Structure 1
Amino acid sequence: MNNKMKLVIAPDSFKESISAYGACEAIKRGILEVMPAANVICKPIADGGEGTLDALMPSDQQIWLSVTGPSFKPVTARYGNIGDIAIIEMASAAGLMLVSESEKKAGAATTYGVGEIIRDAVSKGYKKIMLTVGGSATNDGGCGMLAALGARFTDVNGKEFIPTGYTLNNISAIDLSGVFKEILDCEFIIATDVKNPLLGNSGATYVYATQKGAQAEELPKMEAGMKHYAELLKSLSGRDVAEINGCGAGGGLSAPLLAFFNARIQSGIDTVLDITDFDSALLGADAVITGEGKIDSQSLYGKAISGVAKRANAAKTPVYCFVGCIGDDPNKLKAMGIADIFDILSLADSSDDAMKNADKYLYSMARTFALNASKNKE
């Protein structure tokens, strides 16, 4: 039996069931039981949205700190690093999960805490920052973040304030002279697969604000404020960020970063694969095992599985997918370059069993996979 295969294990989390790290470990255990000499490389991944930080590193390796939450109350947030890159998840400081149902008011929420995390990371010497922008409670165009970085916003009377989605129209001037100087030397990678621009019917306000507690009748005023703010950014920086694809993600968080600093928007999954050096792990690999909770037609577009499959296919490495359940025709899904798909639900007694015991079933699936792979290698 030839059990010296090289296998790359790169799953996303199985939502509400098992983390990407946990899935990696379960699959690895199953493979090594059958093929103890196999070279198994674990690369837990995420698509750049909420949960990316936990996918990339365990919580005990993260940096924890107190910052201003979306409701202007203190919250405990965290960030991490891979090498010299700081990984900051917007949702950790400005996430929808940080506000109660009664506090959900997109127009009143702030991203100030996101700026506090950035400032902490930069003060520790990080000059390259990956910022994920999913799952936010905010629609302030990143004003709170910019204020935390040292910018001053004043109204027509010269009074300083921290703008929110409700008060963007009150901004008369933006003074950047007090911005934390080290920020100017930083490179920001804004990880998102959202394509929405800042303004318009497909922009931050009209598409996402109601999901964050805004009322339909508030939207025109909030949109007018965002437009006014975008015009101010353009007049100050010379850059028109309003129509940039992805600028509408996270309530427009990236707008001031794109306007004033060295920042770019990049596909979430591609960013994660790049910073985890996934392509190097593929060299000489016999197969890649990826996965997520449910594979369906959405998995074809900018999600973790499609990103992994694209890279593996380019390296001519077969891709196998372990999932919780299959939501579409498997043959249609295999069109994205997946050799085969295995699902937990077909093994479990029920969906509840599948959710609660994903670790056990992933281990079992990996063991079966390794047995078959060993036979094929003989």
Structure 2
Amino acid sequence: MHIILIPDSFKGTFSSEQVIHYIREGFEHHFDDVTFDEVPIADGGEGTVDSIVSALRGEKHLALVRDSLGRLIEASFGMCGRTAIIEMAESSGITKISSKERMPLLTSTYGVGEMILEVLKHDTDEIIIGIGGSATNDGGTGMLQALGVRFFDESGEILEQGGQILKRIRRIDASGIPEELKKIPITVMCDVSNPLTGPKGATMIYGPQKGANDKTLLELEAGMVNYKKILLETVGIDVDLIDGAGAAGGLGAALVSFLGAKLKPGIEVILDLVSFDSMVSNADLVITGEGKIDAQSIYGKVPVGVAGRCLDFNVEVIALVGTEGDQSKVVYDHGINAIVSTIAGVISEEDLTLNAEKRIKESIENLCRLLKIGMKLNK
């Protein structure tokens, strides 16, 4: 029996790699003739570089770049053959600063641009950027500044960094972008569809978690509206018509407008990178999963993304999950054949953490025993 193990992390409990370890351990205990393909998953936020490098047996490299407040830090990126993997959370991530340092008028994506310049030093013919987990709301201006773009105010002065400059931009000079970068295709792992501006835009939806109070939100939103106008005048693109332009505080808009990047759901990028369609054609079973499966799982989440690819190959898909939420059974209409939950009933938050390993092992034990019964009945 050949099984593909491709779960998302159980956020706050297990990484994707840990879930894979537990499943493999359980199946090897119950079955003598089982083999695996193992594909760790990350959604574009923290852990993206590690997951892709692990799945593709690539290499990690370190670079000295600036965090969102301009301090020098070490950040990692991956090289998988000639494909570079960048995780914006490594430089401009919200976990890189304390809660007291969340200041979206000042935080910048400059470090992301520095990481892009770093991968250009390698033999790179494709760049993949995960943009989850940002601390920024600067429209990607910091990244662009690191790449040589200049932003001018109404008096012709060059502007500094951070979300504070957005309302003051009157002209953009993008002539400094390296020519070699313009020739490299860029794919962005982006799992949100927010536009740049408006009530569902980058600022109003994600600004509060990045430290913006009501006054700051209004200032940043006014800046984003101005920035959108200047982008339209400069590159002829209305970024509010592009799903995901508001991702990572507008970084998605900058990547599309000036680097010609393509925004794609993270799971689709991963599946293409690992040649999943070829992999699944030789599989007997696929086990995927996530921390909580519910009605929202059909909108770009890992289990349903995986199951959708399996439909054409008639391969059965089991979702191992932490818990089931409202209307979770809707995923049965999208290629998942069974759900196995590690939690049955209501438990305390303390028990959720303390006994997580025991529960996942017991759930995998039950899954293996049920499969063995099914195999006997099929004879």
State TM-score, norm by structure 1: 0.90
Distance 1:188 1:365, change over 3 A: farther
Kindly indicate whether the alpha-carbon contact (under 8 Å) linking 1:163 and 1:171 is maintained by their aligned counterparts in 2.
no
- In structure 2, C-alpha distance between the alignment counterparts of 1:290 and 1:46, rounded to whole Å: 13
- In structure 1, C-alpha distance between the alignment counterparts of 2:333 and 2:114, rounded to whole Å: 44
**Which deviates more from structure 2 when the two are superposed, residues 30-39 or residues 83-92?**
30-39
Which residue among 31, 48, 55 is the counterpart of 1:35? 31
What is the aligned-residue RMSD (CA, Å)? 2.5
Deviation of 1:209 after TM superposition, in Å, equals 0.9
Deviation by residue 1:58-91 (Cα, 9 ceiling, x = unmatched): 5994222221111111222222133332221111
- The equivalent residue for 1:136 is 134
- In structure 2, C-alpha distance between the alignment counterparts of 1:185 and 1:60, rounded to whole Å: 23
Distance 1:53 1:225, change over 3 A: same
Kindly indicate whether the alpha-carbon contact (under 8 Å) linking 1:49 and 1:268 is maintained by their aligned counterparts in 2.
no
Kindly indicate whether the alpha-carbon contact (under 8 Å) linking 2:199 and 2:205 is maintained by their aligned counterparts in 1.
yes
**Which deviates more from structure 2 when the two are superposed, residues 156-165 or residues 368-377?**
368-377
- The equivalent residue for 2:290 is 292
Superposed counterparts of 1:5-44, under 5 Å: 5-44=1-40
Kindly indicate whether the alpha-carbon contact (under 8 Å) linking 2:129 and 2:186 is maintained by their aligned counterparts in 1.
yes
Kindly indicate whether the alpha-carbon contact (under 8 Å) linking 2:58 and 2:80 is maintained by their aligned counterparts in 1.
no
Deviation of 1:322 after TM superposition, in Å, equals 1.1
Deviation by residue 1:23-51 (Cα, 9 ceiling, x = unmatched): 11221222233333323111222333443
**Which deviates more from structure 2 when the two are superposed, residues 236-245 or residues 267-276?**
236-245
**Which deviates more from structure 2 when the two are superposed, residues 97-106 or residues 345-354?**
345-354
**Which deviates more from structure 2 when the two are superposed, residues 131-140 or residues 177-186?**
177-186
**Which deviates more from structure 2 when the two are superposed, residues 258-267 or residues 34-43?**
34-43
Deviation of 1:255 after TM superposition, in Å, equals 1.7
- The equivalent residue for 1:46 is 42
Kindly indicate whether the alpha-carbon contact (under 8 Å) linking 2:343 and 2:359 is maintained by their aligned counterparts in 1.
no
Helix, strand or coil: the match of 1:63? strand
- The equivalent residue for 1:113 is 111
Deviation of 1:305 after TM superposition, in Å, equals 0.8
- The equivalent residue for 1:336 is 334
For 2:47, give the aligned amino acid: G
1:352 has 2:353 as partner = yes
**Which deviates more from structure 2 when the two are superposed, residues 270-279 or residues 149-158?**
149-158
**Which deviates more from structure 2 when the two are superposed, residues 132-141 or residues 367-376?**
367-376
- In structure 1, C-alpha distance between the alignment counterparts of 2:18 and 2:79, rounded to whole Å: 19
Helix, strand or coil: the match of 2:13? coil
4+ residue runs over 6 A deviation: none
Distance 1:377 1:20, change over 3 A: farther
**Which deviates more from structure 2 when the two are superposed, residues 77-86 or residues 46-55?**
46-55
- The equivalent residue for 1:371 is 372
For 1:225, give the aligned amino acid: G
For 1:139, give the aligned amino acid: N
Deviation by residue 1:291-314 (Cα, 9 ceiling, x = unmatched): 112222222211001101111123
5+ residue gaps, structure 2, are: none
Deviation of 1:52 after TM superposition, in Å, equals 2.7
Helix, strand or coil: the match of 1:8? strand
Superposed counterparts of 1:161-200, under 5 Å: 161-200=159-198
- The equivalent residue for 1:122 is 120
Residue correspondences, number:
374
- The equivalent residue for 1:255 is 253
- In structure 1, C-alpha distance between the alignment counterparts of 2:344 and 2:376, rounded to whole Å: 23
Deviation of 1:137 after TM superposition, in Å, equals 0.9
Kindly indicate whether the alpha-carbon contact (under 8 Å) linking 1:114 and 1:145 is maintained by their aligned counterparts in 2.
yes
Deviation of 1:178 after TM superposition, in Å, equals 2.1
Deviation of 1:333 after TM superposition, in Å, equals 4.0
Which residue among 199, 202, 205 is the counterpart of 1:204? 202
- The equivalent residue for 1:266 is 264
- The equivalent residue for 1:229 is 227
- In structure 2, C-alpha distance between the alignment counterparts of 1:159 and 1:234, rounded to whole Å: 21
5+ residue gaps, structure 1, are: none
Deviation of 1:183 after TM superposition, in Å, equals 0.9
Superposed counterparts of 1:321-332, under 5 Å: 321-328=319-326, 331-332=329-330
- In structure 1, C-alpha distance between the alignment counterparts of 2:115 and 2:181, rounded to whole Å: 12
Which residue among 73, 78, 101 is the counterpart of 1:75? 73
Helix, strand or coil: the match of 2:261? strand
Distance 1:329 1:244, change over 3 A: closer
